[in-house]
Amino acid sequence: MATGFFWDERCFWHSGGNYAFMSPVGGLVQPMATGGLPEDPETKRRLKNLLDVTGLLDTLHSQSAPAITEDDLLRVHPASYLENFRSTSTAGGGELGLRTPFGPDGYDIACLSAGLAKEALFATLTGRVDNAYALSRPPGHHCLPDFPNGFCLLANIAVAVEAALAARMVDRIAVLDWDVHHGNGTEAIFYDRDDVLTISIHQERNYPLDSGDFEDRGSGAGEGFNLNVPLPPGAGHAAYIEVMDRLVIPQVQGFQPDAIVVACGFDASGVDPLSRMLAGSDTFRQMTGMTREIADDLCDGRLTLVHEGGYSAAHVPFCGHAVLEALSDSPITAPDPLAPRIAGQQPGPRFQAYCTTLIAEMEAALTS
Ligand code: ZN
């Protein structure tokens, strides 16, 4: 099994914004001694470092990638947005949307992040590797064509998918987003299209506050090609696996994609500061295994994961390690020190039955 791992130290140098957690400093909000926005390089760098220390990284095809080209970006983003982003970056950085501050070279780093996603997808599609993981930063799934939000400055996965479609490497791609927040950017970009199936599993009403409803199934030619699975706060391992089994896998099977891309956020973790869910590293490991199985069945195993959110610097490395173990069939493990705590906090039978009822209602609506 050849698994590509695409990363670049420069992506960890993306910075900007004088925030205390999610709030701009000023008034009564005191600047933080350390930190700032939760979208901090340490979560990602510590994942790469853990892979290094266990030796798993040595077994992967580890590499960087060229920055995304302007031609690639223009399939998703208007020229005016790119010009504004580039000139603001050259002037030292700024803020063009909502919670997406960036510093000097922010444009170039975002182009590199999108380039990692494209290269990972292309490496999978051309057979250079069997599957791939892109440690992209800044993330991309919230970014709209002309409005950056939720720490996302360029729509990494959408840009990569459009590049693969334009190159006629594939006709149909499924994008599965298990970041705990709604993949509103990816949804919006492909909402009226039938060649890209978008699926988002997320905590209901987390971010954005006004999107991600189950009823939003796409429009026009895209009707039926978008699926939102909002879950209540507190849903844990069993709910995620049940969603994969009863909702995600049948939808992807019905779509018959030529490749699958996962927007891989780790912020459904039971210790993530930006969510109230109870996934563990085994949840991510198992979801990766299930996605690999459907990719094997449907599209010669062509599976690419692109890193999105995940804000627990202590836990993300172990979740990511579990995903890369599952992706590469590796015997190298990194026992998760938080696994017993998260396992002990899983919902009891009454709440689990409630989750099962919600999932069964969505399943019935999809099959009716
Ligand atoms: Zn997220």
pLDDT at residue 35, rounded to an integer: 63
Task: Choose among 234, 197, 232, 210: nearest CA to 359.
Answer: 232
Q: Long-range pairs for 48-55 at CB < 8 Å and ≥24 separation?
A: 48/7, 48/135, 49/317, 50/317, 50/318, 50/320, 50/321, 50/334, 51/5, 51/320, 51/321, 51/324, 54/321, 54/332, 54/333, 54/334, 55/332
Distance of CA 267 from the midpoint of ligand 1 (Å): 6
Task: Choose among 6, 3, 289, 7: nearest CA to 129.
Answer: 3
Residue 111's Cα: distance from chain center in Å?
17
Distance of CA 202 from the midpoint of ligand 1 (Å): 9
pLDDT at residue 204, rounded to an integer: 98
Distance of CA 368 from the midpoint of ligand 1 (Å): 31
Distance of CA 178 from the midpoint of ligand 1 (Å): 9
Active-site choice (141, 142, 307, 315): 142
CA separation for the pair 205, 209 (Å, rounded): 5
Residue 142: active-site member: yes
What is the helix (H) or strand (E) element at residue 138, kind and residue range? none
List per-block mean pLDDT (blocks of 10 residues) for the chain, which spans 368 residues.
Answer: 96 87 86 80 96 98 98 98 97 93 95 99 98 98 98 98 98 98 98 98 97 98 98 98 98 98 98 98 98 98 98 98 98 98 98 98 96
Q: How far is CA 180 from CA 86, 103, 123, in A?
A: 30, 26, 27
Distance of CA 243 from the midpoint of ligand 1 (Å): 18
CB 211, CB 177: distance < 8 Å: no
Q: Domain residues of the chain, as ranges?
A: 5-15+39-367
CB 160, CB 186: distance < 8 Å: no
Distance of CA 221 from the midpoint of ligand 1 (Å): 28
Q: How far is CA 90 from CA 28, 76, 87, 214, 315, in A?
A: 31, 22, 5, 41, 35
Class in CATH terms, 5-15+39-367: alpha beta
Phi/psi of residue 31, each to 5°?
A: -60, 145
**In angstroms, what is the C-alpha Rg of the chain?**
19
Task: Choose among 119, 200, 203, 113: nearest CA to 155.
Answer: 113
Tokens for 68?
A: 């995304």
CB 305, CB 323: distance < 8 Å: yes
